[in-house]
Structure 1
Amino acid sequence: MVKEDTRLAALGFRVGTLHRLYLLCMRDSMINMDISVSLIPFLGELYHYDGISQDMLSERVNMDKGSTARAIARLERKGLVRRDENKSNRREKLVRLTAKAIGMREKFFSPLYKMSRIMSKGFSIQKRNQLLESFDSMTENLQCELTRQRRRGRNVPKKHQGVRRRQPVKKGTSG
């Protein structure tokens, strides 16, 4: 008797596989616009919420602030976004699309819509809507879990909670 491959029964394994395949398929479409697949969520969110704060963008795409800052810097170098100071809170940066980005909106979304059609090929509208509702529920479940973990210990494995991390040795000093 052949033992069932437990990876195939694991939801996380399947979601991960789907995500990697999606990125591979999207890579060629985005390369024509000089956009790496890692920038898709940031640019996509800005098309819907142009002018939001950098922190809010981090939250909306579920990425840490450092990754968001690096992604925005890359989008700035490509001339697609700019960071403006929030006049009511000078410490806050608002991320705005440039005219160049606004001009390529249709070209950006076209392959995303196409990939959605390919992924849901053969699905009835009802089945597609059920799937979207399931994804929304799973997303909410994981966001709640992440919040719970952060409250307990900032998403650090239990064995490392309360342990001070060694500071890196600076160049030119002995440690």
Structure 2
Amino acid sequence: MPIPPDSRLRLVQGDITSRPVTAIVNAANSSLLGGGGVDGAIHRAGGPQILEECRHLRERLYPLGLPTGKAVATTGGKLPAKVVIHTAGPVWHGGHQHEAEELASCYQSCLKIAAGRQSESVAFPGISTGIYGYPKKEAAAIAVREVRQFLSENEFPQVVEFVVFDDESRRIYERELA
């Protein structure tokens, strides 16, 4: 009998780079070469190994950059997580340029990678809610919906964490998870 999806969901407020999970998700830019926010923090904490693998991925598979909504995995470098799943989220343009579908695709792509690696646990930041400007409430609704759907149909990952940095985001996710 499958485990109910909600018993596999966690909400954590803190630093995603310190989470003791199998994999963390990086809200990356399409270049895969680091940036600000969560992306920059992951690259700084994980060390040069992550950037090196990202450069190889760009050269071999994504010379024009990682397409929005897609995901790719690298080592976790010096992070507690063994794997970093990088996904290129959509930039918010008012919600009329397929942003919701692209954001949903980010979660689906990341979860497929985690399941394919039989990752016990994966931690997600709020993809696209920083510099990309996606409204936090709408993004959280998509995140929770997509993760619940995936967990209802898949054994792995066994636990999914939503890692938020601030009180506002924590309250938004608490409402979505209620």
Q: Scaled by the length of structure 2, what TM-score is found? A: 0.26
- Name the structure with the higher strand share: 2
Determine which structure has more spread, i.e. the larger CA radius of gyration: 1
Q: Scaled by the length of structure 1, what TM-score is found? A: 0.26
Does 1 or 2 have the higher relative contact order (CA < 8 Å, sep 6+)? 2
